[in-house]
Amino acid sequence: MAPESPLREAHPAERAAGIDFYVSDGDGIGGRLRESPEDFRVRELEAFEPEPLGADPGSYPELVVRVTLRDWDTNDFARRISDALGVSRERVSWAGTKDKRAVTTQLFTLREVDPDELPEIRGAEIEALGRAGRGLSFGDLAGNAFEIRVADAVSEAPERVADAVSDLRAFGGDGGDSAASGPAGDDAATVGVPNYFGQQRFGSRRPVTHRVGLAVVRGDFREAVRLYAGNPAETEPDDTRAARDRVDAAFGVDTGSEATGDDSGPAADGTGDGDWEACLDAIPGKLRFERSMVHRLAERDVAPDAPPDGDDWRHALEAVPSNLQRLFVNAAQSSLFNRIVSERLRRGLPFDRPVAGDVACFADGDAPDELYAPDTDRLQRVDEDRVSVVARHCERGRAFVTAPLVGTETELGDGEPGEIEREVLDDAGIEPGDFALPGEFDSSGTRRAILLRTDLDVTFEDGDPRFAFALPSGSYATVLLREFTKSGPLDL
């Protein structure tokens, strides 16, 4: 076992999701994000070229519009514009879902809609751009460009930002010793951070989705239902905590508001009262998915000591929408990835270049110029003879070191990287074949770059820093910002 890392330890809520460390040493600038929507601006970078507006609607039935939203949830806006147009919600498509408390600019496609039918909607600027033969999908999103202000930062913010930028430049392979870049000058600095999945992947207030997913992958559908419907968090309202306590009692767990966030919390022992009707009486209507799960248990009068891998428990878990079922397993994969990344950090292995046993991917040659984007469909194993060649590709931004998002088709690395991957899976009691699951829970897996690199420009307005950068799709702005704020997930 390698010696303990000198890296700065992360916030406890982050560590519960596998985010164990910071890579910048200094104290944070504190402050708050999203004091107003204008403090968090996001502009999509799409790989989508529409035809002109005058193109034949018969061949190009999708109207492509650019929409700038202020304080709008993407799904809520989609419902609002479909209602205003008098069309089905299914005729509205987009590439990426954005946070509500922000100003966001992105494309939407509206099937069989003419430009002169576009409505006026408060908090939305809608501009017709052209036509397309198909609606937008997630694969059309190449990345996002951000402009984020941190309000009420400490007075030492300029010095602390400069120190963090130096650390992150070094981590990303850019030297980190030039005073002419980043906050000290007018040019952006190329920085790097671990490509963690951010806390919002798991739930900022109640990080539970990955724990549910890990239980599913282990074949314990009973514990998966219990973790989602029971398992109260200290940050939840009193009525919600009381309801979850009642569900835990039905399962035979008396935790006194558990919610440690640990992947291996107290499991249901089957000695509960199984009074699902009493649980339904306790669960408020706002917890509609939890009510749906427990309602299915009540319908089938499921005994709390029924086999944990039984169909009744799975039937209850499948009361939630299919996208949430997939999210459970995706979050489990994400937490395992985070733990692999953290262990690599702890051992002091590089992120900007490979070591023998790594699996690398090449850069996405079609990505917008603003992005350092990997193409994980183009993989190459790095044996001892190829380390220096692939390292040169990484240095030039042409390749990235990866780690697995484990699934049934995952081939683990060799050497020390493979040792880390196997150690994390062994600790979780999981192997790749366990992801051969029924229905929406099945996953073949993929790989993901371990280094998130971007060109960062920082300016100051009335003492508060404003960060400008771009990230490929699937990466998290908060993973970069946490290195500067050193705040807990709820402050991001």
- The strand ranges marked E within 343-449 are 359-363, 374-381, 399-405, 446-449
| Nearest by Cα to 77 from 106, 54, 47, 45 | 106
* DSSP per-residue letters across 62-87: EEEEEEEEES--HHHHHHHHHHHHT-
**The tokens of 171 are what?**
């981590």
Q: How far apart are CA 346 and CA 349, in angstroms?
A: 8
Tell me, yes or no, if 114 is annotated catalytic.
no
Give SS3 for 141.
Answer: strand
**Dihedral of alpha carbons 58, 60, 62, 63, sign:** negative
CB atoms within 10 A of CB 52: 9
Q: Specify the residue for token string 């905590």.
A: 241
Q: ∠79-81-83 over CA atoms, to 5°?
A: 65
| Cα-based distances in Å from 214 to 82, 326, 421 | 37, 12, 16
Q: Are strands 189-194 and 359-363 parallel, antiparallel or unpaired?
A: unpaired
| Cα-based distances in Å from 133 to 48, 52, 130 | 11, 12, 11
Q: ∠337-342-348 over CA atoms, to 5°?
A: 130
174: Cβ contacts below 8 Å, ≥ 6 apart:
189, 190, 191, 192
**191 contacts 351 by C-beta, under 8 angstroms:** no
- Catalytic hit among 71, 73, 99, 375: 99
**356 contacts 381 by C-beta, under 8 angstroms:** no
Give start and end residues of each alpha helix (H) in 218-310: 221-229, 238-251, 276-282, 288-300
Give SS3 for 196.
Answer: coil
User: Which residues are designated catalytic?
Assistant: 99
